[in-house]
């Protein structure tokens, strides 16, 4: 069993219905009061642990019991976010359309009443509310009675809470654009947060990540599972890479600057690609910058990477055995759409697809025989075994939020798009490092003339599939809703079609519009 830094503070009696985020901002209503918890560094660290695990679990008990938040489907942040980022793209076709209410995401036809759009929104703002409450209790005034060394430790925790809040706000910006904004400085109670534009949210995230730089720990100082400075740098790089989408301004030079900051910290590529996505991937701190830790003992759930691994395995195949992937059952939830495998050339070891009994093309959405199955993620240890603490429903594989390969590709794209601070030759070297790892030698390496923006989009697909970046990448390239790239069942037709550009952005849920008159959707 891996060692995770946090212990989960059991906060009792926390249930939220779909209501305005001003109400969420009142969290926590607990039987354990702030006066009981915020009395020691250990207490602060326990609450910080709750902020971290809010991305991967749904409640206070194993498997999501004693749920934190009442929602349509009851699933965790990570499961919701995976569906929002992947299920409408060429990387995923979902099997249980009606049962799991996935039609809207699958066919790019959702509306403001979609259950996944709503659940993701409230999960994001629940995490923001947790961070706000922690920060209210971590001001210089509140910690003034602690020793100097303890105050310094809590300031590190405070910076990490601000990073996690910035990450959640980034997800809200990327998914919903113009959103309600609330911090620890706003009133608690029946407060209706104002609507911030994407420009305002962008500026807030940018400033927040820069302001916490001095208080975040360095890579070498940081316990595994906590966010080091380089996690903030990687998030800034991603924010800048997508700036033209968010604020209609190119920020490629800034993207390169923060990619270089990450690279300068001495990360190296993991030699074996598949080991980045197995049950021992907590050992890959050479490449993984920051991950959501998942553990079958401490953070067991039906979501996060359990969802990704079990969901990718057939539950009808006689030849694909779940035990070969370190789990006890497959759920048959999703496969790859027909165009995606065509991105890969022969010899590319990243093309980890199960094809026996499967067609490449998806002629029937709800038939598991149509579409290759992904074998990228497993719950196997480096020795190829099931972890010793395996449970019947939870895995041990962490989710890499940021890793060096992504940073290399962000830098390369920013260079190709005209950013300064690096060069084509340096960027080409980074791309070819990834290609060398993928092919096992230099047979897959490319020449400078092949390093185009479109090549990098395809390379991001090959390198980062099922890592929750595909929707964002396709939008940045103007391909998500347009006819410039059509994939099977895009827009609800087998051959794919363009859809309304409003689907580049998810709507604020109808329940939230009713609760907060400051909010509105422009196109829904």
Over the range 148-160, which residues count as b (16 or more CB within 10 Å of their CB) and which as e?
Answer: eeeeebbbbbbbb
Whether 405 contacts 303, CB under 8 Å: no
Give 488 or 66, the one with higher predicted confidence: 488
Same domain for 466 and 490?
A: no
Residue 133 forms part of a structural domain: yes
**CA–CA gap between residue 259 and residue 103 (Å, rounded):** 37
Residues 423 and 524 in one domain: no
Residue 118 in domain: yes
pLDDT of residue 12: 30
pLDDT digits (tens, 9 = 90+) for 88-128: 999 999 999 999 999 999 999 999 999 999 999 999 999 99
| Res. 17: pLDDT tops 70 | no
CA distances, 449 to each of 73, 105, 418, 438, 462 (Å): 48, 37, 15, 20, 19
Q: Which two tokens stand for residue 104?
A: 């809207």
Q: Which domain holds residue 364?
A: 294-397
| Domain match, 455 and 377 both | no
Instruction: Name the pLDDT band for 19 (thresholds 50, 70, 90).
Output: very low
The rounded mean pLDDT for the chain is 91
* Co-location of 14 and 96 in the same domain: yes
Same domain (yes/no): 8, 125: yes
* Co-location of 126 and 101 in the same domain: yes
Per-residue confidence (pLDDT) for residue 22, from 0 to 100: 47
pLDDT at 15: 32
**pTM, to two decimals:** 0.94
Question: For position 70, what pLDDT does the model report?
Answer: 64
pLDDT score of 421 more than 70: yes
Q: What is the pLDDT of residues 295-349, one digit of tens each?
A: 887 777 778 899 999 999 999 988 999 999 999 999 999 999 999 999 999 999 9
pLDDT of residue 296: 81
Query: How far, in Å, CA of 362 to CA of 385, rounded?
Result: 32
Whether 269 and 143 map to the same domain: the answer is: no
Taking each continuous run of H as one helix and of E as one strand, the counts in the chain are 17, 8
> Which CATH number goes with the domain that contains 448?
1.25.40.900
294 falls in which pLDDT band (50, 70, 90)?
very high
Q: How many domains does the chain have?
A: 3
Please indicate, yes or no, if residue 285 is contained in any of the structural domains.
no
pLDDT at 175: 98
193: pLDDT strictly greater than 90: yes
Domain assignment present for residue 279? The answer is no
115 & 257 share domain: no
Mean pLDDT of 8-22: 39
Same domain flag for 317 and 176: no
Q: Which residue's entry shows tokens 């219905």?
A: 17
Task: With H, G, I as helix, E, B as strand and everything else as coil, classify residue 434.
Answer: helix
Among 226, 31, 221, 130, CA closest to 138: 130
SS3 content of the chain, % helix, strand, coil (to 5): 45, 5, 50
Q: Of 397, 421, 446, which residue constitutes the final position of a domain?
A: 397
Q: Look at the chain and count its residues.
A: 524
Secondary structure E strands in 163-311: 179-180, 195-196, 288-292
Given a cut of 70, whether residue 1 has pLDDT beyond it is no
Q: Are residues 253 and 209 in the same domain?
A: no
**Quick one: 68 exposed, middle or buried, by C-beta within 10 A (0-12, 13-18, 19+)?**
buried
Across residues 375-390, what is the average pLDDT? 91
Q: Where does a domain end: 360, 376, 397?
A: 397
Average pLDDT of the residues in 445-465: 98
- Among residues 477, 496, 515, the one where a domain terminates is 477
Q: Where are the beta strands (DSSP E) in 293-381?
A: 334-335, 353-354, 373-374
Asked whether residue 221 is assigned to any structural domain, the reply reads: no
Judgement on whether residues 356 and 444 belong to the same structural domain of the protein: no
Does 284 map to a domain? Answer: no
Percent of the chain at pLDDT exceeding 90: 84
Mean pLDDT of 490-515: 97
Supply the CATH number for residue 141's domain. Answer: 1.25.40.390
Same domain, 468 and 491: no
pLDDT of 60 > 80? The answer is: no
Residue 58: partners with Cβ closer than 8 Å, 6 or more residues away: 64, 67, 68, 69, 74, 75, 76, 301, 303
């Amino acid at each position: 069993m891996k060692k995770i830094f946090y212990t989960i503070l059991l906060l009792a009696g926390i249930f939220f219905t779909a209501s305005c985020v001003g109400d969420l901002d009142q969290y926590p209503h607990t039987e354990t009061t702030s006066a009981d918890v915020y009395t020691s560094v250990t207490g602060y660290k326990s609450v910080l642990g709750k902020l971290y695990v809010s991305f991967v679990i749904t409640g206070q008990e194993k498997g999501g019991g004693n749920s934190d938040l009442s929602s349509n489907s009851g699933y965790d942040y990570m499961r919701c976010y995976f569906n929002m980022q992947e299920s409408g793209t060429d990387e995923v076709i979902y099997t249980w359309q009606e049962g799991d209410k996935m039609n809207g995401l699958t066919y790019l036809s959702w509306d403001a009443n979609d259950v996944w759009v709503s659940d993701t929104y409230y999960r994001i703002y629940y995490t923001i509310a947790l961070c706000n409450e922690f920060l209210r209790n971590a001001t210089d005034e509140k910690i003034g009675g602690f020793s100097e060394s303890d105050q310094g430790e809590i300031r590190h925790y405070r910076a990490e809470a601000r990073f996690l809040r910035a990450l959640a706000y980034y997800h809200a910006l990327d998914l919903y654009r113009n959103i309600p904004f609330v911090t620890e400085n706003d009133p608690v109670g029946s407060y209706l947060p104002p609507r911030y534009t994407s420009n305002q949210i962008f500026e807030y995230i940018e400033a927040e990540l820069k302001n916490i730089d001095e208080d975040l720990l360095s890579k070498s100082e940081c316990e595994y599972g906590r966010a080091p400075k380089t996690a903030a740098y990687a998030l800034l790089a991603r924010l800048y890479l997508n700036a033209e989408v968010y604020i209609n301004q190119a920020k490629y030079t800034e993207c390169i600057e923060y990619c270089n900051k990450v690279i300068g910290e001495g990360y190296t590529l993991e030699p074996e690609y598949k080991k980045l996505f197995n049950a021992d991937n907590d050992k890959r701190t050479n490449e993984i910058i920051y991950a959501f830790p998942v553990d079958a003992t401490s953070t067991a759930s039906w979501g996060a990477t359990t969802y990704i691994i079990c969901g990718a395995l057939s539950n009808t195949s006689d030849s694909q055995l779940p035990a070969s992937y370190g789990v006890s059952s497959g759920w048959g939830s999703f496969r790859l759409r027909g165009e995606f495998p065509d991105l890969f050339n022969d010899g590319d070891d990243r093309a980890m697809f199960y094809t026996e009994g499967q067609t490449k093309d998806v002629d029937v959405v709800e038939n598991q025989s149509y579409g290759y199955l992904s074998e990228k993620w497993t719950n196997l240890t480096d020795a190829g075994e099931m972890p010793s603490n395996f449970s019947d429903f939870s895995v041990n594989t962490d989710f890499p939020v940021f890793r060096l390969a992504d940073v290399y590709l962000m830098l390369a794209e920013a260079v190709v798009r005209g950013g300064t601070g690096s060069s084509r030759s340096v960027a080409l070297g980074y791309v070819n490092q990834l290609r060398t790892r993928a092919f096992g030698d230099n047979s897959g390496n490319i020449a400078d003339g092949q390093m185009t923006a479109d090549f990098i989009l395809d390379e991001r697909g090959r390198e980062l599939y099922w890592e929750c970046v595909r929707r964002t990448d396709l939008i940045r390239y103007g391909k998500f809703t347009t006819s410039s790239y059509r994939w099977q069942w895009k827009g609800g037709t087998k051959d794919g079609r363009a859809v309304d550009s409003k689907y580049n952005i998810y709507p604020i849920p109808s329940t939230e519009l009713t609760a907060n008159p400051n909010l509105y959707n422009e196109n829904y």
